[in-house]
């Protein structure tokens, strides 16, 4: 596999939405999620000289963000925080409920996302997307999940960029309400 390279000048366009969505479902606070993404980008810039190129840029940034989320919960040290960093891991570990900080993979690992992702949360997100109005679900999926460029989504759906961002914002708001209803209440 060829060595991956970092392109920090493209991080916001390529990864900001994905990282934000990743963070907001874990911390249940939009402002905090934005701060964590910004901290992730700063930490990425600071540790860029140490990037070995063994992992994809996105995977590396997600690993940094995961550490930021863990650090947030360590600082707040609340029951909810402890509950939300407890996850079920892959069959490789053979253990359920190990603390994330003990099981988190090396940020350079390409397998890191596969072993830590929470399947139940993924199912809850899919269910909530299914509850969105059709246009919101379509725009949100294209822009945020599939990572399509704004220009491409606008062209394909014949909408302007400001309309796209309004739709994405409404979809995110609806998704957070739905996740609060069906997911976060179960976690506490």
Q: Domain residues of the chain, as ranges?
A: 1-117, 118-188
Residue 52: burial class (beta carbons within 10 Å; 0-12, 13-18, 19+) = exposed
H/E stretch holding 114: helix 112-116
Q: C-alpha distances in angstroms, 59 versus 17, 52, 53, 152, 164? A: 14, 13, 11, 24, 26
Average pLDDT of span 125-149: 88
The rounded percent of the chain whose pLDDT value lies above 70 is: 72
For residue 122, give the nearest of 95, 101, 145 by alpha carbon: 145
pLDDT at 132: 93
pLDDT at 95: 40
Architecture field, domain 118-188 = Orthogonal Bundle (1.10)
CA dihedral over 82, 84, 85, 88, signed as positive or negative: positive
Average pLDDT of span 143-162: 88
For residue 112, give the nearest of 74, 56, 39, 41 by alpha carbon: 56
pLDDT at 75: 77
CA angle 11–15–20, rounded 5-degree value: 125
pLDDT at 52: 85
pLDDT-derived band at 85 (thresholds 50, 70, 90) equals very low
pLDDT at 141: 87
Q: Are the C-beta atoms of 124 and 171 separated by less than 8 Å? A: no
Lowest mean pLDDT, pick from 13-27, 70-84, 102-116, 136-150: 102-116
DSSP secondary structure letter of residue 146:
S
């Amino acid at each position: 596999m060829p060595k991956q390279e970092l392109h920090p000048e493209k991080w916001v366009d390529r990864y900001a939405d994905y990282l934000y969505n990743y963070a907001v479902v874990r911390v249940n606070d939009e402002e905090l999620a934005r701060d964590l993404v910004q901290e992730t980008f700063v930490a990425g810039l600071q540790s860029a000289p140490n990037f070995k190129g063994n992992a994809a840029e996105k995977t590396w940034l997600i690993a940094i963000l995961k550490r930021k989320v863990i650090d947030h919960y360590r600082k707040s040290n609340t029951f909810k925080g402890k509950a939300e960093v407890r996850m079920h891991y892959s069959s490789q570990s053979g253990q359920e409920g190990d603390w994330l900080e003990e099981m988190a993979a090396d940020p350079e690992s390409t397998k890191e996302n596969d072993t830590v992702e929470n399947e139940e949360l993924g199912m809850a997100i899919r269910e909530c997307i299914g509850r969105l109005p059709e246009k919101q679900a379509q725009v949100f999926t294209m822009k945020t999940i599939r990572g399509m460029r704004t220009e491409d989504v606008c062209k394909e759906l014949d909408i302007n960029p400001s309309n796209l961002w309004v739709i994405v914002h409404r979809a995110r708001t609806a998704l957070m309400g739905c996740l609060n209803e069906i997911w976060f209440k179960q976690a506490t």
